[in-house]
Structure 1
Amino acid sequence: MRKNNVIWLFASILIVISLVACGNEENPSKSSKDSNSKSNSVENSTTSTEKPKSKTSDDNNQVEDKDKKETEEDVYTASSDKKSDPQTSGNLLNKNKVFKYKDGSVVMTLTKAEFTKKFGPSNASPENDEAYRETTSDSQTYLHLTGKIKNDTKNSFSFGNKLGEINFSLLYDGEHEFQNISSAEEENGTKLGPSNIDALTEGKIHVYFQVPKPVSKTNKPLILTVILGDEPFEITLR
């Protein structure tokens, strides 16, 4: 009887040992399976992250190809904005120019020289078109001088014409010469009249040259010559 108990005890121990061994064998298998699953997940993750890198690389290549193409080309872009021609050029005189004639009894002062398409007397009404001078050709403009003459002599003083004692000429680029037309203001500055100043008076004057428009648009030399009697005085306008 006692012998049988020993045998059963020994058999029970073997069964327990056998069960423990089986449990240990299943765990490594499960661990291996989990490990393989994690490995596959990492690989899949790596693969998915590599795709954007490949796309970025392609984009960079496209940018490099575009830059390379641009460096091989000269690109010229025309402006769609049409610039209007300037109506005036500003004052070409850096300061007032004073000329004394007949021992100072006649004094002429030029205050402004500018390119313009239209001008008129100082007090002219804008609605009075007849008071203004305007070029009729788009290819022409005026070089317009303004100033005043003080006449302290006993006689009317004439200027800017064939019989005038003061005259003007304009030389462009050393070879193109232009002749003037002159007027004096009258009727309180509302009208342009003949080019003479009454005795013992002072009058506002206008001297103008009609010139081709290119004269106003270049930086080529422009010389105004003022002739007092027979004596010329040159003024560099540009």
Structure 2
Amino acid sequence: MTLKHIAIIMDGNGRWATRRKRPRTFGHQAGVKSVRAVIETCVEQQVPHLTLFAFSSENWSRPPKEVQRLMELFMRSLKKETPELLAQGVQQQFIGDLSKFSDSLQNKMHEVAALQPAEQKLTLNIAVNYGGKWDICQAARQMCLEVANGDIHPHDISEVQFNHYLSLGDQPAVDLLIRTGGEQRISNFLLWQIAYAELFFVDTLWPDFKHDELRNLISQYKLRERRFGQTSEQINA
């Protein structure tokens, strides 16, 4: 079964650190290795699109010190990881309301997003200050402006057309959604884009999630029957 797009809610960094009697930020640092692992596995498995939930619009409510450390880690990772990602054929994009970040971080994200690998093998979407409800609202706002300007007619609005105004509107819908850390909820992530995704909730905390576990989930995904509203008989005809 074709697998074009994997999305991951990377959960469990804080609990991983707490169990080791270390600060929560220690878990976030450890989680960077898992990011590397899933990127490498997606390239290996020829999955062309990967979206990672790095920082939600709700995460600003965390303790200020933790948020500050997360921003510092994000900037450090962009500087350190980008050359290697380009060498692997990975092109980075950032989705979410980037205006909430510092000017220096915004500039770095724009700089990184403009870089193109010599041979692109994977589009890595990093969701930062992102929320699924925000995404749908900003798409609706854009369409309302175009209706007001007379560029489109309300009767012409369709799901296909609306999709183009969303984050990732130029990419395939999510096929496989994974959440680590044992929780079984979507947490306002890609609400439109995961409409028919296959969902996997695993107990593994994010810093412990590595190559073999993702390979195993990809294998399980390929055993599932995706019907998109049809019957098994129709699919197998």
Structure with higher helix content:
2
TM-score (norm 1): 0.21
For the pair shown, the structure with the greater C-alpha radius of gyration is 1
Structure with higher strand content:
1
Greater relative contact order, per chain length (Cα 8 Å cut-off, separation 6+): 2
